[in-house]
Amino acid sequence: MDLTGLTGVIGLAALVIAFIDFLRNATAGKVGLNAVVTQLCAWIAGLVAVFLYAESQLGVGVVLGDTTLDKADTATKIIVGLGIASIASTFVKLTKSIDSSDSNKQPPLLK
């Protein structure tokens, strides 16, 4: 699996979009608090997943340019983790926008 090239650009674009949304929600006060916490949780989960995956025997199977995930430096793992989490967040927003019946509705993290 090669995560460079177009996939890398998509991941970085999703990260930029997620960060802009994060800033919008962070400046919205109490109204945006749930979205801020949800995005922070997604980014943390993405980082944990990438670092855990890299330490497992599966890390050798993910190729990042000239190296594999298990040999990648910390900055690369952070970029990949944030990018993957941002792609996932964007995908969830897309499915919510398409689903007119709210069958994908999730309870908020904060009440």
Residue located via tokens 């025997």: 57
pTM for the predicted model, two decimal places: 0.82
Express each pLDDT in 72-89 by its tens digit.
999 999 999 999 999 998
Instruction: Map out the domains of the chain as residue ranges.
Output: 6-96
- Rounded to whole angstroms, the Cα distance separating 106 from 11 reads 24
Nearest alpha-carbon partner for 45 in 5, 25, 27, 18: 18
Confidence of residue 60 (pLDDT cuts 50, 70, 90): very high
CA distance 46 to 91: 14
